[in-house]
Amino acid sequence: MPIPVLPEAFVESMQSQVGPSWNAFLTALASPSPVSIRYLPLKKKTSEENYEKVKWCSNGVYLPERPVFTLDPSFHAGAYYVQEASSMLIEAAVSQLVDLDAPLRVLDLAAAPGGKSTLLAGLIRPDSLLVANEVIRNRYQTLRYNLIKWGLPHAMTSNHDSREFGALEGWFDLVLLDAPCSGEGLFRKDPEAAREWSPDHVRFCASRQKRIFADAAGLVRPGGIILYSTCTYNAQENAGNVAWFCQEFGYDHLPLDFPGDWGILAQELGYQCFPHLVKGEGFFLAALRKQATSPAKTASLKPGRLPAWAPLAGKWIDLAKSCLETPEAFSFYADPDQTIRAVPKALEEDVLIAAQALKRTHWGVEIGQIKGKDLIPSPELALSTAISPAFPFVEAGKPTALRFLKKEQVEFPGTPNGWTLVRYQGLNLGWVKIMDRRTNNYYPKEWRILMEV
Ligand code: SAM
Protein backbone atom coordinates (compact mmCIF):
# COMPACT_ATOMS: atom_id res chain seq x y z
CA MET A 1 0.00 0.00 0.00
CA PRO A 2 1.43 3.45 -0.86
CA ILE A 3 2.03 5.92 1.97
CA PRO A 4 -0.56 8.73 1.73
CA VAL A 5 0.95 12.00 0.53
CA LEU A 6 1.87 13.79 3.77
CA PRO A 7 1.97 17.60 4.07
CA GLU A 8 5.46 18.89 4.90
CA ALA A 9 4.46 20.69 8.09
CA PHE A 10 2.75 17.52 9.29
CA VAL A 11 5.92 15.49 8.63
CA GLU A 12 7.99 17.96 10.67
CA SER A 13 5.59 17.95 13.59
CA MET A 14 5.26 14.13 13.60
CA GLN A 15 9.01 13.61 13.35
CA SER A 16 9.52 15.67 16.46
CA GLN A 17 6.68 13.81 18.18
CA VAL A 18 7.67 10.19 17.41
CA GLY A 19 11.45 10.77 17.15
CA PRO A 20 13.34 7.54 16.37
CA SER A 21 10.07 5.71 15.63
CA TRP A 22 9.47 7.82 12.49
CA ASN A 23 10.29 4.97 10.10
CA ALA A 24 8.10 2.54 12.03
CA PHE A 25 5.29 5.13 11.89
CA LEU A 26 5.71 5.47 8.09
CA THR A 27 5.76 1.68 7.66
CA ALA A 28 2.49 1.46 9.59
CA LEU A 29 0.93 4.13 7.34
CA ALA A 30 1.91 2.02 4.34
CA SER A 31 0.21 -1.12 5.70
CA PRO A 32 -3.50 -1.84 5.40
CA SER A 33 -5.81 -0.58 8.14
CA PRO A 34 -6.93 -3.36 10.48
CA VAL A 35 -10.63 -4.20 10.17
CA SER A 36 -12.46 -4.44 13.46
CA ILE A 37 -16.03 -4.79 14.62
CA ARG A 38 -17.76 -4.72 17.99
CA TYR A 39 -20.60 -7.10 18.76
CA LEU A 40 -23.80 -6.34 20.54
CA PRO A 41 -23.85 -9.29 22.98
CA LEU A 42 -27.67 -9.38 22.99
CA LYS A 43 -27.67 -10.09 19.26
CA LYS A 44 -24.46 -12.10 19.04
CA LYS A 45 -24.26 -15.45 17.32
CA THR A 46 -22.09 -18.14 18.91
CA SER A 47 -20.41 -19.04 15.61
CA GLU A 48 -18.27 -15.89 15.75
CA GLU A 49 -15.90 -16.70 18.60
CA ASN A 50 -12.72 -17.42 16.66
CA TYR A 51 -11.44 -14.00 15.67
CA GLU A 52 -8.50 -12.19 17.27
CA LYS A 53 -9.81 -10.08 20.14
CA VAL A 54 -9.24 -6.36 20.62
CA LYS A 55 -7.33 -6.34 23.93
CA TRP A 56 -9.10 -3.34 25.44
CA CYS A 57 -12.71 -4.07 24.47
CA SER A 58 -14.72 -7.08 25.63
CA ASN A 59 -16.79 -7.39 22.44
CA GLY A 60 -14.27 -6.09 19.91
CA VAL A 61 -12.61 -8.40 17.36
CA TYR A 62 -10.43 -8.05 14.26
CA LEU A 63 -11.60 -9.61 11.02
CA PRO A 64 -9.02 -11.28 8.79
CA GLU A 65 -10.21 -9.16 5.82
CA ARG A 66 -12.78 -6.51 5.02
CA PRO A 67 -16.06 -8.06 3.86
CA VAL A 68 -18.73 -6.05 2.06
CA PHE A 69 -20.66 -5.24 5.24
CA THR A 70 -23.60 -3.87 3.24
CA LEU A 71 -24.23 -7.35 1.89
CA ASP A 72 -24.34 -9.00 5.35
CA PRO A 73 -27.96 -8.94 6.63
CA SER A 74 -26.79 -9.37 10.24
CA PHE A 75 -25.00 -6.01 9.94
CA HIS A 76 -28.41 -4.43 9.16
CA ALA A 77 -29.91 -6.31 12.11
CA GLY A 78 -27.48 -4.53 14.47
CA ALA A 79 -25.49 -7.65 15.40
CA TYR A 80 -22.26 -5.60 15.30
CA TYR A 81 -20.89 -2.13 14.66
CA VAL A 82 -17.90 -1.61 12.39
CA GLN A 83 -15.51 0.41 14.54
CA GLU A 84 -11.84 1.24 14.29
CA ALA A 85 -10.11 -0.59 17.20
CA SER A 86 -8.31 2.33 18.92
CA SER A 87 -11.68 4.05 19.49
CA MET A 88 -12.80 1.06 21.51
CA LEU A 89 -10.32 2.19 24.19
CA ILE A 90 -13.25 4.21 25.52
CA GLU A 91 -14.48 0.97 27.13
CA ALA A 92 -11.28 0.43 29.12
CA ALA A 93 -11.28 4.07 30.22
CA VAL A 94 -14.95 4.23 31.25
CA SER A 95 -14.68 0.96 33.19
CA GLN A 96 -11.92 2.53 35.30
CA LEU A 97 -13.58 5.90 35.77
CA VAL A 98 -17.18 5.27 36.81
CA ASP A 99 -19.08 2.63 38.74
CA LEU A 100 -20.82 0.73 35.96
CA ASP A 101 -22.93 -1.11 38.55
CA ALA A 102 -24.65 2.14 39.49
CA PRO A 103 -27.31 3.99 37.48
CA LEU A 104 -25.64 6.81 35.56
CA ARG A 105 -26.50 9.73 33.33
CA VAL A 106 -24.13 9.74 30.39
CA LEU A 107 -23.88 12.26 27.55
CA ASP A 108 -22.09 11.69 24.24
CA LEU A 109 -21.99 15.33 23.19
CA ALA A 110 -20.66 14.97 19.62
CA ALA A 111 -21.93 11.55 18.73
CA ALA A 112 -22.56 10.89 15.01
CA PRO A 113 -22.25 8.42 13.41
CA GLY A 114 -22.58 6.67 16.75
CA GLY A 115 -19.57 4.38 17.20
CA LYS A 116 -18.86 5.50 20.73
CA SER A 117 -22.56 5.90 21.59
CA THR A 118 -23.24 2.27 20.74
CA LEU A 119 -20.22 1.31 22.85
CA LEU A 120 -21.37 3.42 25.82
CA ALA A 121 -24.97 2.18 25.58
CA GLY A 122 -23.76 -1.40 25.82
CA LEU A 123 -21.51 -0.65 28.80
CA ILE A 124 -23.98 1.06 31.11
CA ARG A 125 -26.85 -0.64 32.93
CA PRO A 126 -30.33 -0.65 31.38
CA ASP A 127 -31.47 1.78 34.10
CA SER A 128 -28.74 4.24 33.14
CA LEU A 129 -29.50 6.89 30.54
CA LEU A 130 -27.37 7.65 27.50
CA VAL A 131 -28.07 10.90 25.66
CA ALA A 132 -26.35 10.78 22.26
CA ASN A 133 -26.22 14.20 20.64
CA GLU A 134 -25.31 15.48 17.19
CA VAL A 135 -25.71 18.99 15.78
CA ILE A 136 -25.75 18.34 12.00
CA ARG A 137 -29.16 17.18 10.86
CA ASN A 138 -28.18 14.53 8.30
CA ARG A 139 -25.48 13.18 10.62
CA TYR A 140 -28.15 13.06 13.34
CA GLN A 141 -30.25 10.78 11.09
CA THR A 142 -27.27 8.42 10.76
CA LEU A 143 -26.76 8.47 14.52
CA ARG A 144 -30.41 7.63 15.07
CA TYR A 145 -30.34 4.82 12.55
CA ASN A 146 -27.25 3.29 14.16
CA LEU A 147 -28.75 3.49 17.64
CA ILE A 148 -32.08 2.09 16.41
CA LYS A 149 -30.18 -0.90 14.98
CA TRP A 150 -28.39 -1.24 18.33
CA GLY A 151 -31.84 -1.60 19.89
CA LEU A 152 -31.19 -0.54 23.50
CA PRO A 153 -34.13 1.42 24.98
CA HIS A 154 -31.99 3.34 27.48
CA ALA A 155 -30.27 5.33 24.69
CA MET A 156 -31.99 8.54 23.59
CA THR A 157 -30.79 10.94 20.91
CA SER A 158 -30.84 14.71 20.55
CA ASN A 159 -30.14 17.06 17.65
CA HIS A 160 -28.62 20.18 19.18
CA ASP A 161 -25.52 22.32 19.26
CA SER A 162 -23.49 21.73 22.42
CA ARG A 163 -24.22 25.32 23.45
CA GLU A 164 -27.93 24.48 23.78
CA PHE A 165 -27.46 22.13 26.74
CA GLY A 166 -27.48 24.86 29.41
CA ALA A 167 -30.72 23.62 31.01
CA LEU A 168 -28.94 20.36 31.90
CA GLU A 169 -26.11 22.02 33.80
CA GLY A 170 -24.53 19.74 36.43
CA TRP A 171 -26.83 16.85 35.42
CA PHE A 172 -24.46 14.22 33.99
CA ASP A 173 -22.09 11.78 35.70
CA LEU A 174 -20.04 11.29 32.54
CA VAL A 175 -19.69 13.36 29.37
CA LEU A 176 -17.78 12.09 26.36
CA LEU A 177 -16.51 14.78 24.03
CA ASP A 178 -15.19 13.00 20.95
CA ALA A 179 -14.32 16.25 19.28
CA PRO A 180 -14.37 17.07 15.56
CA CYS A 181 -10.65 17.24 14.70
CA SER A 182 -8.06 17.44 11.92
CA GLY A 183 -8.09 13.64 11.63
CA GLU A 184 -4.30 13.07 11.46
CA GLY A 185 -4.82 9.62 12.94
CA LEU A 186 -7.01 8.61 10.01
CA PHE A 187 -4.65 9.47 7.13
CA ARG A 188 -4.11 5.77 6.35
CA LYS A 189 -7.85 5.02 6.25
CA ASP A 190 -8.90 8.31 4.72
CA PRO A 191 -6.25 9.92 2.46
CA GLU A 192 -8.71 12.81 1.88
CA ALA A 193 -8.04 13.89 5.50
CA ALA A 194 -4.34 14.25 4.57
CA ARG A 195 -5.23 16.43 1.58
CA GLU A 196 -7.39 18.71 3.76
CA TRP A 197 -4.74 19.06 6.47
CA SER A 198 -2.92 22.36 7.00
CA PRO A 199 -1.52 24.21 10.02
CA ASP A 200 -4.44 26.64 9.66
CA HIS A 201 -6.91 23.79 9.76
CA VAL A 202 -5.29 22.47 12.95
CA ARG A 203 -5.63 25.93 14.52
CA PHE A 204 -9.25 26.14 13.40
CA CYS A 205 -10.00 22.67 14.89
CA ALA A 206 -8.27 23.49 18.17
CA SER A 207 -10.29 26.65 18.60
CA ARG A 208 -13.59 24.94 17.68
CA GLN A 209 -12.75 22.19 20.18
CA LYS A 210 -12.21 24.78 22.90
CA ARG A 211 -15.68 26.16 22.31
CA ILE A 212 -17.34 22.73 22.56
CA PHE A 213 -15.11 21.76 25.51
CA ALA A 214 -16.24 24.92 27.33
CA ASP A 215 -19.88 24.00 26.63
CA ALA A 216 -19.24 20.56 28.16
CA ALA A 217 -17.59 21.92 31.32
CA GLY A 218 -20.78 22.89 33.09
CA LEU A 219 -22.76 19.77 32.22
CA VAL A 220 -20.94 17.44 34.62
CA ARG A 221 -21.80 17.25 38.31
CA PRO A 222 -19.00 18.05 40.82
CA GLY A 223 -16.84 14.94 40.97
CA GLY A 224 -18.13 13.82 37.55
CA ILE A 225 -15.99 12.92 34.55
CA ILE A 226 -15.31 14.33 31.10
CA LEU A 227 -13.60 12.06 28.59
CA TYR A 228 -12.01 14.09 25.81
CA SER A 229 -10.91 12.29 22.67
CA THR A 230 -9.74 13.06 19.14
CA CYS A 231 -8.35 11.01 16.26
CA THR A 232 -5.38 13.29 15.81
CA TYR A 233 -1.79 13.62 17.11
CA ASN A 234 -0.89 17.30 17.41
CA ALA A 235 -0.53 18.90 20.83
CA GLN A 236 -2.74 21.90 20.04
CA GLU A 237 -5.85 19.76 19.66
CA ASN A 238 -4.85 17.29 22.39
CA ALA A 239 -2.69 18.05 25.46
CA GLY A 240 -2.78 21.81 24.76
CA ASN A 241 -6.57 21.88 24.91
CA VAL A 242 -6.63 19.59 27.95
CA ALA A 243 -4.21 21.83 29.88
CA TRP A 244 -6.22 24.94 28.96
CA PHE A 245 -9.49 23.26 29.95
CA CYS A 246 -8.30 21.98 33.36
CA GLN A 247 -7.01 25.37 34.31
CA GLU A 248 -9.98 27.31 33.02
CA PHE A 249 -12.78 25.12 34.41
CA GLY A 250 -11.41 23.42 37.56
CA TYR A 251 -10.87 19.87 36.35
CA ASP A 252 -8.06 17.42 37.25
CA HIS A 253 -6.38 15.12 34.78
CA LEU A 254 -6.82 11.46 35.81
CA PRO A 255 -4.30 8.70 35.18
CA LEU A 256 -5.60 5.53 33.53
CA ASP A 257 -4.12 2.09 33.84
CA PHE A 258 -3.47 0.49 30.43
CA PRO A 259 -1.26 -2.64 30.45
CA GLY A 260 2.11 -2.14 28.70
CA ASP A 261 1.44 -4.79 26.06
CA TRP A 262 -1.49 -2.74 24.71
CA GLY A 263 1.06 -0.30 23.24
CA ILE A 264 -0.75 2.86 24.32
CA LEU A 265 1.59 5.74 25.00
CA ALA A 266 1.04 7.66 28.25
CA GLN A 267 1.70 11.37 27.83
CA GLU A 268 1.77 14.06 30.47
CA LEU A 269 -1.88 14.88 29.78
CA GLY A 270 -3.63 11.99 28.09
CA TYR A 271 -2.98 8.79 26.17
CA GLN A 272 -2.09 8.35 22.53
CA CYS A 273 -2.53 5.40 20.17
CA PHE A 274 -0.07 5.31 17.26
CA PRO A 275 -0.55 2.88 14.37
CA HIS A 276 3.01 1.53 14.74
CA LEU A 277 2.35 0.65 18.40
CA VAL A 278 -1.27 -0.57 18.42
CA LYS A 279 -3.37 -2.54 15.98
CA GLY A 280 -5.59 0.43 15.18
CA GLU A 281 -5.52 4.03 13.99
CA GLY A 282 -4.30 7.20 15.68
CA PHE A 283 -6.40 8.20 18.70
CA PHE A 284 -6.02 10.48 21.73
CA LEU A 285 -7.88 10.20 25.02
CA ALA A 286 -7.78 12.16 28.27
CA ALA A 287 -9.88 11.64 31.42
CA LEU A 288 -10.74 14.69 33.51
CA ARG A 289 -12.55 14.90 36.82
CA LYS A 290 -14.49 18.00 37.85
CA GLN A 291 -13.20 19.10 41.21
CA ALA A 292 -15.65 18.00 43.88
CA THR A 293 -15.46 21.46 45.41
CA SER A 294 -16.78 23.06 42.21
CA PRO A 295 -20.05 24.80 42.95
CA ALA A 296 -22.97 22.49 42.17
CA LYS A 297 -25.12 24.34 39.69
CA THR A 298 -27.69 21.65 39.01
CA ALA A 299 -30.79 23.43 37.92
CA SER A 300 -33.89 22.27 39.75
CA LEU A 301 -35.14 20.06 36.97
CA LYS A 302 -38.54 18.51 37.36
CA PRO A 303 -40.19 16.08 34.96
CA GLY A 304 -43.18 17.90 33.55
CA ARG A 305 -45.33 17.07 30.55
CA LEU A 306 -43.83 16.62 27.13
CA PRO A 307 -45.53 19.14 24.88
CA ALA A 308 -46.48 16.69 22.12
CA TRP A 309 -46.76 13.45 24.06
CA ALA A 310 -49.54 12.21 26.36
CA PRO A 311 -49.69 8.95 28.33
CA LEU A 312 -51.35 6.35 26.13
CA ALA A 313 -54.84 5.53 27.31
CA GLY A 314 -57.88 3.63 26.09
CA LYS A 315 -58.22 0.61 23.88
CA TRP A 316 -54.72 0.66 22.33
CA ILE A 317 -52.81 0.21 25.54
CA ASP A 318 -53.16 -3.58 25.71
CA LEU A 319 -52.06 -3.99 22.11
CA ALA A 320 -49.07 -1.68 22.67
CA LYS A 321 -48.10 -3.62 25.77
CA SER A 322 -48.26 -6.92 23.92
CA CYS A 323 -45.47 -5.65 21.64
CA LEU A 324 -42.83 -5.75 24.38
CA GLU A 325 -41.30 -8.66 26.28
CA THR A 326 -41.56 -6.92 29.68
CA PRO A 327 -44.35 -4.34 29.25
CA GLU A 328 -44.60 -3.81 33.01
CA ALA A 329 -41.16 -2.14 32.87
CA PHE A 330 -42.34 0.53 30.38
CA SER A 331 -44.66 3.55 30.24
CA PHE A 332 -46.46 4.22 26.97
CA TYR A 333 -46.99 7.60 25.31
CA ALA A 334 -48.74 8.75 22.12
CA ASP A 335 -48.38 11.94 20.07
CA PRO A 336 -51.06 13.73 18.02
CA ASP A 337 -50.10 11.60 14.96
CA GLN A 338 -50.97 8.52 17.02
CA THR A 339 -47.37 7.35 17.12
CA ILE A 340 -46.74 5.29 20.25
CA ARG A 341 -43.45 5.24 22.12
CA ALA A 342 -42.51 3.22 25.21
CA VAL A 343 -40.02 4.52 27.75
CA PRO A 344 -38.39 2.38 30.46
CA LYS A 345 -40.10 3.30 33.76
CA ALA A 346 -36.73 3.37 35.52
CA LEU A 347 -35.70 6.23 33.22
CA GLU A 348 -39.01 7.95 32.68
CA GLU A 349 -38.30 10.91 34.95
CA ASP A 350 -34.86 11.54 33.44
CA VAL A 351 -36.14 11.14 29.88
CA LEU A 352 -38.94 13.64 30.54
CA ILE A 353 -36.44 16.11 31.94
CA ALA A 354 -33.95 15.70 29.08
CA ALA A 355 -36.65 15.75 26.39
CA GLN A 356 -38.07 19.01 27.78
CA ALA A 357 -34.66 20.61 28.16
CA LEU A 358 -33.55 19.67 24.64
CA LYS A 359 -36.68 19.80 22.42
CA ARG A 360 -35.38 17.87 19.35
CA THR A 361 -35.08 14.38 20.78
CA HIS A 362 -36.03 10.76 20.20
CA TRP A 363 -36.35 8.45 23.20
CA GLY A 364 -37.48 5.00 24.29
CA VAL A 365 -38.77 2.57 21.68
CA GLU A 366 -41.16 3.53 18.89
CA ILE A 367 -43.85 0.86 18.99
CA GLY A 368 -45.82 1.91 15.94
CA GLN A 369 -48.54 4.16 14.60
CA ILE A 370 -52.29 3.74 14.90
CA LYS A 371 -53.89 3.95 11.46
CA GLY A 372 -57.63 3.31 11.41
CA LYS A 373 -58.14 -0.06 13.02
CA ASP A 374 -54.53 -1.17 12.69
CA LEU A 375 -51.36 -0.58 14.67
CA ILE A 376 -48.60 -0.38 12.05
CA PRO A 377 -45.56 -1.76 13.91
CA SER A 378 -42.46 0.40 13.74
CA PRO A 379 -39.19 -0.70 12.09
CA GLU A 380 -37.61 0.50 15.35
CA LEU A 381 -39.65 -2.07 17.30
CA ALA A 382 -38.39 -4.85 15.02
CA LEU A 383 -34.78 -3.97 15.84
CA SER A 384 -35.32 -3.33 19.55
CA THR A 385 -33.96 -5.78 22.09
CA ALA A 386 -37.18 -5.09 24.06
CA ILE A 387 -39.54 -6.59 21.44
CA SER A 388 -41.87 -9.40 22.47
CA PRO A 389 -40.67 -12.82 21.29
CA ALA A 390 -44.31 -13.73 20.57
CA PHE A 391 -44.55 -11.98 17.17
CA PRO A 392 -44.94 -14.30 14.15
CA PHE A 393 -41.78 -14.46 12.05
CA VAL A 394 -40.31 -15.95 8.90
CA GLU A 395 -36.68 -16.95 8.66
CA ALA A 396 -35.17 -15.69 5.38
CA GLY A 397 -32.09 -17.06 3.65
CA LYS A 398 -29.45 -14.56 2.56
CA PRO A 399 -30.80 -13.83 -0.96
CA THR A 400 -34.33 -13.21 0.34
CA ALA A 401 -33.04 -11.18 3.30
CA LEU A 402 -31.10 -8.97 0.89
CA ARG A 403 -34.14 -8.54 -1.36
CA PHE A 404 -36.14 -7.54 1.72
CA LEU A 405 -33.41 -5.04 2.72
CA LYS A 406 -33.49 -3.60 -0.81
CA LYS A 407 -37.22 -3.10 -0.26
CA GLU A 408 -38.04 -5.37 -3.18
CA GLN A 409 -41.03 -7.67 -3.43
CA VAL A 410 -40.61 -10.76 -1.22
CA GLU A 411 -43.00 -13.69 -0.82
CA PHE A 412 -43.25 -16.27 1.94
CA PRO A 413 -45.69 -18.89 0.61
CA GLY A 414 -47.67 -20.77 3.24
CA THR A 415 -47.15 -18.12 5.93
CA PRO A 416 -50.38 -17.02 7.68
CA ASN A 417 -51.70 -13.52 6.95
CA GLY A 418 -50.77 -10.60 9.20
CA TRP A 419 -47.81 -8.58 10.47
CA THR A 420 -44.74 -10.78 10.36
CA LEU A 421 -41.09 -10.23 11.26
CA VAL A 422 -38.47 -11.10 8.65
CA ARG A 423 -35.48 -12.71 10.34
CA TYR A 424 -32.00 -13.62 9.21
CA GLN A 425 -30.12 -16.18 11.29
CA GLY A 426 -32.54 -15.53 14.15
CA LEU A 427 -32.10 -11.72 14.06
CA ASN A 428 -35.01 -9.42 13.24
CA LEU A 429 -34.64 -7.23 10.16
CA GLY A 430 -38.08 -5.64 9.82
CA TRP A 431 -41.75 -6.17 8.97
CA VAL A 432 -43.84 -7.52 6.15
CA LYS A 433 -47.62 -7.59 6.04
CA ILE A 434 -48.80 -10.82 4.50
CA MET A 435 -52.19 -10.72 2.79
CA ASP A 436 -54.19 -13.14 0.61
CA ARG A 437 -52.74 -12.02 -2.73
CA ARG A 438 -49.57 -10.15 -1.90
CA THR A 439 -46.98 -9.36 0.74
CA ASN A 440 -46.12 -5.74 1.50
CA ASN A 441 -42.53 -4.94 2.42
CA TYR A 442 -42.43 -2.36 5.25
CA TYR A 443 -38.65 -1.87 5.33
CA PRO A 444 -38.07 1.92 5.49
CA LYS A 445 -37.17 3.46 2.13
CA GLU A 446 -34.43 5.60 3.70
CA TRP A 447 -32.64 2.52 5.12
CA ARG A 448 -32.80 0.33 2.04
CA ILE A 449 -29.66 -1.11 0.44
CA LEU A 450 -28.87 0.80 -2.74
CA MET A 451 -25.89 -1.32 -3.79
CA GLU A 452 -26.29 -3.92 -6.56
CA VAL A 453 -26.57 -7.31 -4.90
N1 SAM B 1 -18.17 9.97 18.38
C2 SAM B 1 -18.46 9.69 16.99
C3 SAM B 1 -18.26 8.23 16.74
O4 SAM B 1 -17.45 7.59 17.44
O5 SAM B 1 -18.93 7.67 15.85
C6 SAM B 1 -17.62 10.56 16.07
C7 SAM B 1 -17.80 12.01 16.38
S8 SAM B 1 -17.05 13.12 15.21
C9 SAM B 1 -15.40 13.01 15.64
C10 SAM B 1 -17.54 14.66 15.86
C11 SAM B 1 -19.00 15.04 15.63
O12 SAM B 1 -19.27 16.23 16.35
C13 SAM B 1 -19.37 15.35 14.19
O14 SAM B 1 -20.43 14.51 13.78
C15 SAM B 1 -19.81 16.81 14.20
O16 SAM B 1 -20.86 17.08 13.32
C17 SAM B 1 -20.25 16.97 15.65
N18 SAM B 1 -20.22 18.35 16.18
C19 SAM B 1 -19.40 19.36 15.79
N20 SAM B 1 -19.67 20.46 16.53
C21 SAM B 1 -20.65 20.14 17.39
C22 SAM B 1 -21.35 20.87 18.39
N23 SAM B 1 -21.08 22.15 18.66
N24 SAM B 1 -22.33 20.24 19.08
C25 SAM B 1 -22.62 18.94 18.82
N26 SAM B 1 -21.98 18.20 17.89
C27 SAM B 1 -21.01 18.80 17.18
Give the architecture-level CATH label for domain 301-390.
Roll (3.10)
Nearest atom (ligand 1) to Cα of 136: 16
Q: Which of 87, 165, 212 to mutate to test the pocket of ligand 1 (most atoms within 8 A of CB)?
A: 212
Q: Which of 266, 338, 281 is nearest to 86 (CA)?
A: 281
> Residue 193 Cα, ligand 1 centroid: separation in angstroms?
16
For position 70, what pLDDT does the model report?
97
Nearest atom (ligand 1) to Cα of 116: 4
Residue owning the nearest CA to atom 17 of ligand 1: 110
CATH 3.40.50.300 for domain 392-453: no
Long-range Cβ pairs for the range 391-395 (8 Å, 24+): 391/323, 391/419, 391/420, 391/421, 392/416, 392/418, 392/419, 392/420, 392/421, 393/420, 393/421, 393/422, 393/423, 393/428, 394/420, 394/421, 394/422, 394/423, 394/432, 395/423, 395/424, 395/426
For position 295, what pLDDT does the model report?
66
| Residue 318 CB partners (closer than 8 Å, separation 6+) | none
For 206-237, how does the pLDDT look when each residue is reduced to its tens digit (9 = 90+)? 999 999 999 999 999 999 999 999 999 999 99
pLDDT higher than 80, residue 300: no
pLDDT higher than 90, residue 314: no
Give the architecture-level CATH label for domain 88-290.
3-Layer(aba) Sandwich (3.40)
For position 47, what pLDDT does the model report?
59
Nearest atom (ligand 1) to Cα of 176: 1
For position 306, what pLDDT does the model report?
80
C-alpha to C-alpha distance for 99 and 96, rounded to whole angstroms? 8
Alpha-carbon Rg for the chain, nearest whole angstrom, is 23
Same fold: 301-390 with 392-453: yes
> Residue 114 Cα, ligand 1 centroid: separation in angstroms?
9
Residue owning the nearest CA to atom 19 of ligand 1: 180
> Residue 108 Cα, ligand 1 centroid: separation in angstroms?
9
Residue tagged active-site, from 181, 205, 231, 323: 231
The number of C-alpha atoms within 13 Å of 183 and in the hemisphere containing its C-beta is 16
Domain boundaries, the chain: 88-290, 301-390, 392-453
pLDDT cut 90: percent of the chain above it: 90
Nearest atom (ligand 1) to Cα of 134: 26
- Alpha-carbon dihedral sign for residues 11, 89, 124, 114: positive
Mark whether 323 is an active-site residue.
no
Q: Which residues line ligand 1 (CB under 6 A)?
A: 87, 109-116, 133-136, 139, 161-162, 178, 180, 212
Nearest atom (ligand 1) to Cα of 108: 1
> Residue 110 Cα, ligand 1 centroid: separation in angstroms?
3
pLDDT cut 70: percent of the chain above it: 97
Q: What is the mean pLDDT of residues 373-392?
A: 97
- Residue count (the chain): 453
Tell me, letter by letter, the H, E, C secondary structure of the chain: CCCCCCCHHHHHHHHHHHHHHHHHHHHHHCCCCCEEEEECHHHCCHHHCCCCECCCCCCEEEECCCCCHHHCHHHHCCCEEECCHHHHHHHHHHHHHCCCCCCCEEEECCCCCCHHHHHHHHHCCCCCEEEEECCCHHHHHHHHHHHHHHCCCCEEEECCCHHHHHHHCCCEEEEEEECCCCCHHHCCCCHHHHHHCCHHHHHHHHHHHHHHHHHHHCCEEEEEEEEEEECCCCCCCCHHHHHHHHHHHCEEEECCCCCHHHCCEEECCEEEECCCCCCCCCEEEEEEEECCCCCCCCCCCCCCCCCCCEECCCCHHHHHHCCECCHHHEEEEECCCCEEEEEEHHHHHHHHHHHHHHCCEECCEEEEEEECCEEEECHHHHHCCCECCCCCEEECCHHHHHHHHCCCCCCCCCCCCEEEEEEECCEEEEEEEECCCCEEECCCHHHCCCCCC
> Residue 327 Cα, ligand 1 centroid: separation in angstroms?
34
pLDDT higher than 80, residue 45: no
> Residue 398 Cα, ligand 1 centroid: separation in angstroms?
34
